[in-house]
Amino acid sequence: MRSVDAHLADILATVRPLAPLELELERALGTTLAEDVSSPVPLPPFDNSAMDGYAVRAEDVPGTLPVIDDVAAGSDELRAVGPGHSVRIMTGAPMPAGADSVVPVEWTDGGTVSVQINRDVPVGNAIRRAGEDVQAGEVVLKAGTVIGPAQLGIIAGVGRRRVWVRPQPRVVVISTGAELVEPGAPLARGQIWDSNSYTLTAAVREAGAEGFRAGSVGDDPAVLLDQLDTHLMRADAIITSGGVSMGAYEPVKEALAPLGTVRFEKVAMQPGMPQGFGVLGDDRVPIFALPGNPVSSFVSFMLFVRPALDKMRGLPTDTSRTVTAYVTGSLRSPAGRRSYLRGVLASDGTVSPVHGQGSHQLAALASANALIVVPEDVTEVPGGSSVEVIRL
């Protein structure tokens, strides 16, 4: 059996970061910057008011001053503020020449012809200086940054319409199994509802990639190959579930093993022992052939697919999601396999194994928020021991 680490190392040695492309800002959310983004101008570009009020010379207040002008944000024809004068000004409007501070409207009688100001104001009050946020030429985001809402905001804020990014990988998810039925349709004898394609597509999206749920194909390898052919054109990666173990009908293994580019093997883990991985087509699209048991396919995704997607997105793959916790009950694990038991990690630093550790027990998985890792050479873990835990 191959070790978990060796299997992951193979996968990471095979997958490549996606090539950068230039995208409109509207399409850039969730992608990874492939260039440093800098600002061509200072931000703010000009000194402006931080409040609605009056631009004045600080030495003229308190007192009653004529209001000689009104400036809104966006105004570009400004009258200078001479000694003893004021200008009504709005938040974001450029500071008129001559004024050295802004008096908030709350400190005044709000007059429009003349204004009575009741208190002192320090020089520079409520002025946002040019360049206070960003200097001209300054890098605001570095290549390798994932673009979230705030990052998208600053890219727009420095005036960019398009940006070079590594796109989100497009991942097609296919379930296999003659027993599978779409949720919502009635079950006949021997059938179950297809849950894996939903779990895996959602996991893809949560991992920052685009997930396409292609639904389920039966047990016929030719149908699977046909589906793969259809989807290969628009996929950066493919995930299948089921059909990889030792049964009489293992469509994934039967379809892909003869190609010679996908390897099927046993990985020393529980759950998730049978695994397939390789590449398809001229573009060498990675394919992850995950085991069909619902918990096995999900755990396999977390351990193998997620880091691969990180690499395809141009992100580091060595970021550990592991924390140490104290286990509240005892654990058992098969010799020679690394176990990933489902547990609930609490804020007090303890982790409690959930009831139902079978690899078919999807409800138990859904009640967990962590995987408890038990190393290959450990078969029993007494309650109270410290364990490594992967947050889900």
Q: Which residues bind ligand LQZAQKY5 (CB under 6 A)?
A: 175, 177, 179-180, 192, 194-197, 241-247, 250, 271, 273-274, 291-294, 296, 359-360
Among 270, 339, 352, 361, the residue binding ligand MOO under the rule CB under 6 A is: 270
DSSP helix/strand/coil, 102: strand
Query: Which of 155, 157, 164, 101 has its CA nearest to residue 127?
Result: 101
Q: How far is the CB of 217 from ligand LQZAQKY5 (least distance, A)?
A: 10
CA dihedral sign, ordered 32, 36, 41, 43: positive
Place of tokens 């007192």: 63
Position closest to ligand LQZAQKY5 via CB: 292
3-state secondary structure string across 156-194: HHCCCCEEEEECCCEEEEEEECCCEECCCCCCCCCCEEC
| 272 lines the binding site for ligand MOO (CB under 6 A) | yes
Q: Token pair of 379, please?
A: 């078969």
Residue 175 binding result from ligand MOO, ligand LQZAQKY5, none, given CB thresholds of 5 to 8 Å by partner type: ligand LQZAQKY5
Task: Report, in Å, the least distance between residue 296 CB and ligand MOO.
Answer: 3
CB 32 within 8 A of CB 146: yes
Residue 292 or 314 with smaller CB distance to ligand MOO: 292
Helix (H, G, I), strand (E, B) or coil at 12: helix
Binding test (CB under 6 A) with ligand MOO, winner from 78, 273, 354, 372: 273
Q: Which is nearer to ligand LQZAQKY5, 31 or 293 (CB)?
A: 293
Helix (H) or strand (E) holding 344: strand 338-345
**Rounded-to-integer distance, Cα 342 and Cα 363, Å:** 11
Amino acid, res. 17: P
Q: In terms of DSSP H, where are the helices of 42-159?
A: 149-157
244 binds, among ligand LQZAQKY5, ligand MOO, none (CB under 5 to 8 A by kind): ligand LQZAQKY5
197 binds, among ligand MOO, ligand LQZAQKY5, none (CB under 5 to 8 A by kind): ligand LQZAQKY5
Q: How far apart are CA 96 and CA 70, in angstroms?
A: 10
Quick one: 168 or 296, whose CB is closer to ligand MOO? 296
Q: Which of 94, 208, 271, 278 binds ligand MOO (CB under 6 A)?
A: 271
d(CA 245, CA 289): 10
DSSP, res 27: G
Within 294-333, which residues bind ligand MOO (CB under 6 A)? Answer: 296
Residue among 116 and 191 whose Cβ is closer to ligand LQZAQKY5: 191
Q: Which of 359, 365, 368, 389 binds ligand MOO (CB under 6 A)?
A: 359
From CA 312, how far away is CA 15, in angstroms rounded? 7
Binding partner selected for residue 194 from ligand LQZAQKY5, ligand MOO, none, CB under the kind-specific 5 to 8 Å limit: ligand LQZAQKY5
Footprint of ligand MOO on this chain (CB under 6 A)?
Answer: 270-273, 291, 293, 296, 359
